[in-house]
Amino acid sequence: MPELPEVEVTRRGIVSHLEGHHFVGATLRNPSLRWPVPHDLGHTLRGLKINAVTRRGKYLLFDCGNGTLILHLGMSGSLRLLPAATPPQKHDHVDLILDTGMILRFKDPRRFGAVLWATGDVTHHALLAQLGPEPLTEAFDGRLLYERTRGRRASIKDVLMNSRIVVGIGNIYANEALFSTGISPLTPAGRISMRRYEKLAQAIKETLNLSIEAGGSSLRDFVNSDGSPGYFQQQYWVYQRNGQPCRKCGTAIEQTRQGQRSSFYCPHCQR
């Protein structure tokens, strides 16, 4: 499922095919995603120049000057650049048609993704206005985590996955970064020291950057291929390794539940 690295790899894979070009329309086969795709999206986009393709958290933003196309991959979404005549397959819900003879095709079997149109300053859009800082910028560091968790009883894992505190950290990278720092996912966030938060923030940046680099190596396969960033075989330290030996100490990895999500951790390495 797409987390921040997958979204960023997708962005890098499509950006040179979009920026400076124009939309000529859109094809909506199934507009019922997380929210309805605007029925007149094709008319809205017609003739608009794509000035920039950026990312905010896990949202992709297509800046068209007087408006912005907002796209979220949800749990199962993917984007592919294809020749305009390519026949659609199952779950290919939306095509964004370009003036280059190519289309940007959105596939999303579970339909938790989103394709929306926003006018005005997109940073004020309801989906974006409340988001915390980007984890790969200087605005995110141990001090921010420390200050925003004073008095909080929620677990550190829940805090890392709270997009109001920091964006883009999903279940996989929350588990992996906590292992890397030796912090139990169950630890109350308000009881973690500044020193440990500085290590945790660094681990988050390193974990995300490594995944982006791994995905970047397969970028050439993005166009006219299966569209997957191609690094989902990545080796994890703890994620989905319950019952298997810890790669550092050999202790069996444990699985527990926080909210409705699974946490994986080494009971020896993480305290």
* Nearest distance, CB of residue 113 and DNA, angstroms: 9
* Positions marked active-site: 2-3, 58, 261
The C-alpha atoms of residue 84 and residue 105 are separated, in whole angstroms, by 9
Are 73 and 94 spatial neighbours (Cβ–Cβ below 8 Å)? no
Helix, coil or strand: residue 70: strand
Give the Cβ contact number of residue 131 at 10 Å: 18
Query: Using CB under 7 A, which of the segments 8-16, 60-68, 79-87, 109-117 binds DNA?
Result: 109-117
Identified binder of DNA from the candidate list 171, 180, 184, 270, rule CB under 7 A: 171
Contact between 29 and 119 under an 8 Å Cβ cutoff? The reply is no
Could you tell me the CA-to-CA distances from 46 to 18, 57, 84, 94, 101 in Å, in that order? 14, 27, 15, 15, 14
Binding residues: 91, 110, 152
Residue ranges of the binding site for DNA: 91, 110, 152
Of the residues 9, 160, 161, 200, which one makes contact with DNA according to CB under 7 A: 161
Task: Count residues near DNA (CB under 7 A).
Answer: 29
Q: What distances in angstroms separate CA 99 from CA 10, 19, 25, 45, 53, one per listed residue?
A: 20, 12, 9, 11, 16
Query: Side by side, which strands form the sheet with 102-107?
Result: 23-28, 92-98, 102-107, 78-83
Stretch that binds DNA, among 61-69, 98-106, 157-165, 230-238 (CB under 7 A): 157-165
Rounded to a whole number of angstroms, the minimum distance from the CB of residue 230 to DNA is: 18
Among 5, 170, 227, 229, binds DNA (CB under 7 A): 170
Helix (H, G, I), strand (E, B) or coil at 260: coil
Least separation in angstroms between CB 102 and DNA:
26
Tell whether residue 127 is a contact of DNA (CB under 7 A): yes
Binding site for DNA (CB under 7 A): 1, 3, 32, 58, 72, 74-75, 90-91, 109-112, 126-127, 152-154, 158, 161, 163, 170-172, 240, 259-262
